[in-house]
């Protein structure tokens, strides 16, 4: 799985011109058909999309190219999940958040639990990105919750991307920078 930008024409151009690197070995990726069609939910609607598949010319591995609006193995757009996380950071409970977003309680509780488990690792990674993008940036000062601190680190790193590189939605940046693994199980390496 490789998280790519949300401009499909640009992704296709990068793929065809050999400008995408293999996430396993950094070799050159080329076109390799499509993955299965999936239905995922954005804020207002169900979106059916068929991600591109790519194959590495060095190691032969194949990778699904998933747009940064999604996360790995999640049926909802990262903007929806991010809105839930921000509401939790602001003190809302999962039932209220679920009602506001029109999602099942159990789904929202699952997102929030997983984000909370990863929150400290997330804060560390995105604080590192913030300081890499903007060496002058002040510290991310610990607040009332580890979830809030992680949200602040993501928001500040995304703002630094906007200033230094290009406009990006904060949660799409978070998906891209985490390889779509914002809610994935913690690996042995801690991220
Ligand atoms: Zn490879």
- Mind listing the pLDDT tens digit for each residue in 151-161? 999 999 999 99
Residue 190 has pLDDT above 70, yes or no: no
Question: What is the reported pLDDT for 76?
Answer: 96
Q: Are residues 40 and 124 in the same domain?
A: no
Count the domains in the chain. 2
CA of 103 to the centre of ligand 1 (A): 38
Structure confidence at residue 68 (pLDDT) = 95
Residue 16 in domain: yes
Verify that 106 and 151 share a domain, yes or no.
Answer: yes
Same domain, 49 and 113: no
**Cα of 170 to ligand 1 centre, how many Å?**
29
154 and 95, same domain (yes or no): yes
Q: Which of 15-24, 78-87, 102-111, 181-190 has the lowest mean pLDDT?
A: 181-190
129 C-alpha vs ligand 1 centroid, how far in Å? 25
Q: Are residues 161 and 121 in the same domain?
A: yes
CA of 102 to the centre of ligand 1 (A): 40
What is residue 191's predicted lDDT score, i.e. its pLDDT? 64
Tell how far the Cα of 30 is from the centroid of ligand 1, in angstroms.
Answer: 11
Q: Which domain holds residue 145?
A: 78-177
Q: Are 136 and 109 in contact (CB under 8 A)?
A: no
* The pLDDT value given to residue 140: 87
CA of 122 to the centre of ligand 1 (A): 26
One domain, residues 111 and 140: yes
């Amino acid at each position: 799985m490789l998280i790519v930008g949300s401009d499909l024409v640009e992704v296709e151009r990068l793929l065809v011109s050999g400008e995408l690197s293999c996430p396993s070995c950094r070799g050159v990726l080329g076109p390799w058909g499509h993955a299965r069609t999936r239905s995922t939910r954005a804020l207002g609607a169900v979106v059916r999309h068929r991600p591109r598949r790519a194959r590495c010319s060095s190691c032969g591995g194949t990778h699904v190219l998933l747009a940064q609006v999604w996360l790995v193995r999640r049926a909802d757009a990262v903007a929806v999940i991010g809105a839930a996380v921000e509401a939790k950071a602001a003190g809302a409970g999962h039932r209220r958040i679920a009602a506001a977003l029109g999602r099942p309680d159990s789904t929202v509780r699952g997102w929030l639990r997983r984000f909370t488990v990863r929150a400290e690792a997330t804060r560390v990674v995105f604080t590192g990105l913030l300081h890499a993008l903007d060496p002058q940036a002040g510290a991310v000062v610990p607040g009332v919750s580890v979830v809030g601190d992680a949200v602040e680190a993501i928001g500040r790193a995304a703002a630094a991307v906007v200033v230094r590189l290009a406009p990006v939605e904060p949660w799409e940046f978070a998906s891209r920078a985490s390889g779509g693994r914002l809610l994935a199980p913690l690996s042995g390496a801690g991220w």
